Amino acid sequence: MAVEGAPEGLLADWFAQGSGANKEVGILLVHGFTGSPASMRPWAEYLNQRGYTVKVPLLPGHGTTPHDLNLVKWQEWPAKVESDLQELLRTCRKVFICGLSMGGGTTLNIATRYSEDLAGIILVNPMIHVKFVPHQLAWAISRFQKMRDSVGDDIKRPGITEYGYDALPAVGVYELLKMLHYTRKRLHDVTAPMLLFHSVDDHTLPVTNTEIVMKGVGSRQKQRIELVNSYHVATLDYDQEVIFENSRLFIESHS
């Protein structure tokens, strides 16, 4: 797994204007930690082909080198998503946010403040904690180990990559855990309708992440769909059509 060899433009912000009756429905799709927009592009393209306006942001510290992810403060990730969200809110009648893994945690962070403005959120294997690793411990580890082994490309389909980093930046992990700690305490403020996809066979995050989110959010409408033939990066895996089609139905029902 590496960013080298990615097709031109795949690791950058991506926007596609919608068309027809769905043009004024905007959808923001947020990738995961050490990942890239490549993990969300097929989903975004599927939705855009059905007329929806879509944006796939490149999160700060991503798409370059792992070292850059050690230089980012956690507030920069939701700030980037919030900026793109504001653009969609100005031009669209309804707006949804979709997030994968850490992108799911970032989506939840945004939804603690924007639930009244959002038509719904869609999460795929969302990240809200790392069991037995508080952010204080991550900080201590980062003092003597700047890079750790990569956790990316947890994909069952052979030969598929999300073009992410081949190392895990330790300071970036510390910042990520701070964001998740802050967000978890405020999950009750998430009241937008929620659809959550969970891979039964996920080698990156334990099921406790999904359980915490499902129990903690204040959403009156929340649904969980299990994915039985995908690993963590399910948006690129065998169950991607399950995600794409059910997300389309969710978006239709709330827009």
Summarize pLDDT for 56-84 with one digit per residue, the tens: 999 999 999 999 999 999 999 999 999 99
Provide the pLDDT confidence category of residue 147 given band limits of 50, 70 and 90: low
Question: Catalytic: which of 101, 115, 199, 230?
Answer: 101
- pTM comes to 0.94
Q: What pairing do the DSSP bridges indicate for beta strands 120-124 and 222-227?
A: unpaired
pLDDT at residue number 18: 98
CA distance 59 to 74: 11
Question: Catalytic: which of 84, 153, 154, 202?
Answer: 202
pLDDT at residue number 130: 85
Mean pLDDT of 95-122: 98
Mean pLDDT computed over every residue of the chain: 93
Q: What share of the chain is helix, strand, coil (3-state, %, to 5)?
A: 40, 15, 45
Write out the two tokens for 57: 């942001």
Task: Tell me if residue 101 is catalytic.
Answer: yes
Domains in the chain with CATH codes: 14-253 (3.40.50.1820)
Share of the chain above pLDDT 70, in %: 92
pLDDT above 80 for 155: yes
247, 166 contact by CB (below 8 A): no
Mean pLDDT of 95-111: 98
Question: Catalytic: which of 142, 232, 247, 255?
Answer: 232
